[in-house]
Amino acid sequence: MPKTLNFKKKLKLCSFFFLLKNPKGVSLYLAMIILTMFLAIAIGISTVLLIQVKMVSSLGNSVVAFFAADTGIENALYTGSSVSGVLNNGASYEVSFMSPGSGCSGFYYCLKSKGVFKDTKRAIEIIR
């Protein structure tokens, strides 16, 4: 009979309820819970920040693609024909020059320019 009592005492010492009754074990338990919560909050914040950084980067690519399309329009207005090209920063543009009546609702001409930079595409259309 003494062996079973001894086993029950050891089981009681290792139980969760003993930690709540004994002030020495509670501080370690609470510290672990608080550290786990801080870790979860830090991971959540870093995930949100990473998504925001990707969005800002994509916005910058969009601006570069738009200005590439704008450069294409300017080049087409200067030459008076369809043009395409690649800029120094790696952005490219392609402009189609259309006469009135062939899918163009303008009185003189229509220009459609597509700018591309790092898988981001932007387009500009001019009808005159």
pLDDT tens over the chain, length 128 residues: 455 556 655 555 555 555 555 566 677 888 889 999 999 999 999 999 999 988 887 888 899 999 999 999 999 999 888 899 999 999 999 999 888 877 788 888 899 999 999 989 999 999 98
Return d(Cα 13, Cα 85) in angstroms, integer.
Answer: 78
Phi, psi of 37 (to 5 degrees): -65, -45
Domain count, the chain: 1
Alpha helix stretches (DSSP H) within the chain: 2-14, 16-21, 23-79
Predicted model pTM: 0.61
Return d(Cα 98, Cα 128) in angstroms, integer.
Answer: 11
pLDDT for the residue 125: 92
pLDDT for the residue 1: 47
Q: Which domain holds residue 21?
A: 2-127
